[in-house]
Structure 1
Amino acid sequence: MIKVATLLVVVVVSATLAKPSDPYKSGAIPYHFAYGVKDDYAGTDFGHSENSDGSNVKGSYNVQLPDGRKQTVEYVADHHKGFQANVNYKGQAQYPHEYGPAVTFKPSGGGGYH
């Protein structure tokens, strides 16, 4: 009977030690990031910025849409209310009357980035 009780104690201790720690309770670190890309030649225009105090996140991103409008999404997120976004558009959608082949650009010679 003594051997069975000792074995039971060892099993309970081993199971407790094997349980992984919760990765989400490690304490979030505040951060900030931002970037933007604007290339008038290629028609590229987009960006994103975000701030976090470790619990709440607030940010926005924008993109130039193919129809000519600029879309901006402002958002907040936390563990209680989730992700909440507000989407806005600037400008009027433009649609061409005639369609043609896609615009492509040939790479310049030289074998590398310039």
Structure 2
Amino acid sequence: MFSKVSVLVAFAVAVAARPETPSYSPPAHPAPSYSPPSPSYSAPTHPSPSYSAPTYNDVPARYYNQYAVNDEYSGNNYGHQEDRDGYKTQGTYYVQLPDGRLQKVTYYVDGESGYVAEVTYEGEAQYPAYQPAPSPSYA
């Protein structure tokens, strides 16, 4: 009899431990609905700024400027001088040309006349005699 009871108990334990076939169904979700929150702020009630554009006095320009370069090693020789008082401007600039002459420009600007320039040259143009390059010799 002990063996029948043991078999019966073993069978009952096996039946109780047997996994059941799961019946799974996903949970029901409601359809998504979104409505953004409405803004709930009001503009600050600060007083408007009392700013006005700055004003400047209309003062005519007045200056004097001058520079010069004379480099014997490179042959550079040029310069500029300008004087302005209000709407009247006058000046001079010059440059040493490769042919040996000095080109000088004297100009002025006065109101409605615009830019008026006079170009002059000092010295004589000098062109060295043509010297052909020596032909290479291969030994």
What TM-score, normalized to structure 2? Answer: 0.51
What aligned pairs does 1:18-33 form with structure 2 within 5 A after superposition?
26-33=58-65
Letter in 1 for 2:89: V
What aligned pairs does 1:11-90 form with structure 2 within 5 A after superposition?
26-90=58-122
**Bigger radius of gyration among the two:** 2
Unaligned runs of 5+ in 2: 1-56, 134-139
The offset of 1:86, in angstroms, is: 1.1
Which one has a larger percent strand, Structure 1 or Structure 2? 1
What TM-score, normalized to structure 1? Answer: 0.62
Off by >4 Å, runs of 4+ in structure 1? none
* Structure with bigger RCO (C-alpha 8 Å, 6+ apart): 1
Unaligned runs of 5+ in 1: 1-24, 102-114
Residues 44 and 99 (structure 1), Cα distance of their counterparts in 2 relative to 1, 3 Å cut? farther
Residues 40 and 82 (structure 1), Cα distance of their counterparts in 2 relative to 1, 3 Å cut? same
Identity level (%):
43
Structure 2 residue matching 1:34: 3-state secondary structure: strand
Length, aligned pairs only: 81
